[in-house]
Structure 1
Amino acid sequence: MSHSKILILDFGSQVTQLIARRVREAHVYCEIHPCDVSDEFVKSFGANGIILSGSHASTYEEDTDKAPQAIFELGVPVLGICYGMQTMAQQLGGKVEAGTKREFGYAEIRARGHSALFRDIQDRTNAEGHGLLDVWMSHGDKVTELPPNFKVIASNETTPIAAFADETRKFYGVQFHPEVTHTKLGQAILERFVLDICQAKPDWIMGDYITEAVARIKAQVGDEEVILGLSGGVDSSVAAALIHRAIGDQLTCVFVDHGLLRLNEGDMVMDMFAGRLHVKVIRVDATRQFMGHLAGVSEPEAKRKIIGREFVEVFKAEAAKLKAGTGGHKGATFLAQGTIYPDVIESGGAKSKKAVTIKSHHNVGGLPATLGLKLLEPLRDLFKDEVREL
C-alpha cells in the first residue's frame, strides 16, 4: 500500500523526533532525513509536504546548513520551524539577524486569522478580538526582513515576525516550536499543515500496518528460517509475535536470561511465548556470566556495553547451532531484531547523519555480519508508542 508521506529534514534539533511523532499521531507517515540530502533524493522521495526542523546553529554562521534548494521548486508545501523558518527566509531572499534579547520559554503571540495555517486556531482572543496563541520559543536569532511575496501571520513585541507565509506557494515558517507540548495548540497547527495544506491522507494506521508487515515478512523470508533474540521487552516481544504471525514455526526465539529481569519475569516470558503463543523458544540461563562481568561496574554506558557484548556472545553460540541445522533440517538464514526508529536515530542515525549518539544499542550493531545472517527488522520505522499500539 502506498501511503501519503511527509519528509522531515533534520538540522540537528534535539526535538526533531517529536515533530515526527506528532505527524504520526495525525496518522500520516513521515521520515526524518539529514538536511544535507541531495536534490535528487528530495525529488524522488515523493513527499506530500516538507518540514524543516530547528537547530542550535545560526543561519549566518560560516558553513551553516541550508535546505536543499529543490524543496522550494517541487510545488509541495513547506513548513519551517525555528531555524527551519530562518533558513527558508534567508534562502528565499529575506534577512536573519541576531536578536538583542534571547526568547526562551512561554510566549504569547497574536495569530492572524487570515492565514490558512492559523485560521480558527487560538487559545483565546484579546479585547480587540484578535486570536492569541500560547507557544514555546527557543531562539536568539530572528527574521528581520521578509522574503518577496511573504506576509507576517503572527507576531509579538519581542519577535515582530513570529510566523510568516507565502500562501500562493504554501510556504510557512514559525519561530516557535509546535511539536512540544508547551505549545498548547501545536498539534492542531501541525495537523492543519499536514492534513489540510499538504492534503496528506491519514492512512498510517497500526491495524493496517500489521497486514502490510506480515506480507512483507512473508515475501522477504520465503521458506527460510529466522532466529530472534527475545528479551521479554516490548520491542523484541512485538517483533516475535509479528514474525510468528507471518511465518509460524520458521521462527525460533532465543531467550537469554541474564538475571536482570524482575522476579519470575523469565518464567512469564516463557509462559507467554512458548505456552500461549506456541512460539519455539530456547531459554539460556546466563545469569552467572552476566553478573560476573557487571560486578563493580557503575557507569550506565559501560553497563550497556557489557550487557550488549555478553548478550552477543551467548546469542552467537546458540545462533551458530541453529544456523548449522540438525538432523537434515536446514539452518536459519535470517536474524530478526526488535530495532525501532529511535534506536536507529540515537545510535548515530542511519537515516539522519545530524543525529547525536545519546546511548548505544546492541540492536543496531554488527551482529548480522558476525553471524553471516540476513537481517529482518519489521519494527525499524516505528516509534515506541506505535510499537505498543501494535
Structure 2
Amino acid sequence: MRALVIQHEHVSAPGLVGDRLVQRGYEFTLLTVVPEERHHTPDVRFDFPEADGWDLVVSLGAPWSVYDETTVGSWIGGELALLRMAHHLGIPVLGICFGAQALTTALGGTVEAAPRPEIGWTGIDTDDPALIPPGPWMQWHHDRCVPPPGARETARNTVCTQAFRMGNSLGVQFHPEATPAVVRRWVDFGGAEQCARLGIDPEELVERSRAMEPVARENAYRLVDAFLDRVVSPAR
C-alpha cells in the first residue's frame, strides 16, 4: 500500500503517524514542499504529483496560513487540487492542522483566524472517542477550520472544530504526529517567540512533551488504527 505524505517544511515530520502507517504496512513517499533554506521565504514553486495511484494521502502541518497568498500562494493551489481530486477519486485523505485546513478549503469549507492561538497539550470534546480519543493532544495553531458543507464535525473545544470527517477523509486540528523531537524543532524554528508572546515557557513545553510521550504514542496509534479501519476501509 502506498501513502503520499506531504511535509510542507523540514521541521514538521510525520512522527508517530508515520511510524504507525509503516507498522500497518504502508510504504510512504515523503514530499517536502519548502526546502530548509527557504523556511523563512516559503513562496517557492512546487509541482505536486497526480492524485491517482496512491492508496492514502496525508497532509501534515505548517507554520503558515492556507489563505496567506503572499506566503503560500505559489504552491497551495496545487496542493488543494491534489486533495480535491484524491477525495473525488475515493482516495482517503488525512489532514493534520495546516493539512486539515487545506483539506477543508479543497472541499468547499473555509479557514479563518481562531479567536486565540492554541499551543500546548489539551483535551478535546469528542463525539466518537473510539475514532478521536479525547487526548490530551498537542496543539499549535492560530487558525481554525470552518468545515465544508456535508462534513460531520466529530470533535471540538471552545476555540474551534478539532476534527471533521467527510466521506473517507478526516481532518484533525491537533497534532497526533507530535514527538518531543518535533516539538523541539518547532520551538527552535520560531516557536519560542510565539510561546513568549503567550506567556508559555517553551522549555517547559518540551519537557511536558517528553513526559507525555507514552500517552501521545498510544493516542496517535489508536487514531491511525481507527482511521484506517473505520474511515478508510469501513466494514460493509
Question: Which TM-score bucket, shorter chain as reference?
Answer: 0.5 to 0.7
User: Which amino acid in 2 is paired with 1:189?
Assistant: L
Superposed CA offset, 1:167-214 (max 9, x none): xx2111000111125435011111222355334xxxxxxxxxxxxxxx
The AA in structure 2 aligned to 1:179 is E
CA 1:60–1:134 in 2, change beyond 3 Å: closer, same or farther? same
Distance verdict in 2 for CA 1:195–1:174, change over 3 Å: same
Higher relative contact order (CA 8 A, sep 6+): 2
**CA drift at 1:93:** 1.6
CA displacement 1:16-70 (0-9 Å, x = unmatched): 2414233213332212124544453x32xx2221111111110110152432242
Return the match for 2:140 from 138, 141, 153: 138
Q: Distance in 1 between matches of 2:21 and 2:125?
A: 24
2:156 equivalent to 1:155? yes
1:360-375 to 2 correspondences below 5 Å: none
Alignment counterpart, residue 119 of structure 1, candidates 105, 130, 136 = 130
- Which stretches of structure 1, 4 residues or longer, exceed 6 Å deviation after superposition? none
Structure 1 gap segments, 5+ residues each: 123-131, 200-390
Q: Distance in 2 between matches of 1:84 and 1:95?
A: 13
**Residues 53-107 of structure 1, C-alpha deviation per residue, up to 9 Å, x if partnerless?**
1111101101524322422322111110000000111222212111231101101
The yes-or-no answer on 1:61 pairing with 2:68 is yes
Q: Pairwise CA RMSD of aligned residues?
A: 2.3
For residue 147 of structure 1, report the CA deviation from its aligned partner.
Answer: 0.6
Q: Are positions 1:187 and 2:221 aligned together?
A: yes
Instruction: Output the TM-score relative to the length of structure 2.
Output: 0.67
Q: Could you say which structure has the larger radius of gyration?
A: 1
Report the Cα offset of residue 136 of structure 1: 0.7
Structure 2 residue 64 is matched with structure 1 residue 30: no
Work out the CA distance in 2 between the residues paired with 1:133 and 1:81: 15
How far apart, CA to CA, are the structure 2 residues paired with 1:70 and 1:108?
Answer: 33
Name the SS for the 2:29 alignment partner: strand
TM-score norm. by structure 1 comes to 0.42
**Residues in 2 aligned to 1:172 and 1:95: alpha-carbon distance in whole angstroms:** 15
Shift of 1:14: 1.8
8 Å CA contact retained: 1:11, 1:55: yes
Structure-2 separation of matches of 1:8 and 1:53: 7
Q: Distance in 1 between matches of 2:229 and 2:127?
A: 20
Superposed counterparts of 1:1-390, under 5 Å: 4-12=1-9, 14-18=11-15, 19-34=17-32, 36-40=46-50, 42-43=51-52, 46-63=53-70, 64=72, 65-66=75-76, 67=79, 68=82, 69-113=84-128, 118-119=129-130, 122=133, 132-143=134-145, 145-159=146-160, 161-166=161-166, 169-181=167-179, 182=212, 183=216, 184-199=218-233
Unaligned runs of 5+ in 2: 34-45, 180-211
Alignment-mate amino acid for residue 16 of structure 1: A
Contact 1:153–1:165 (CA<8 Å) still a contact in 2? yes
CA gap of 1:62–1:75, structure 2 versus 1, over 3 A, is same
- Read off the aligned partner of 1:73 and give its amino acid letter: H
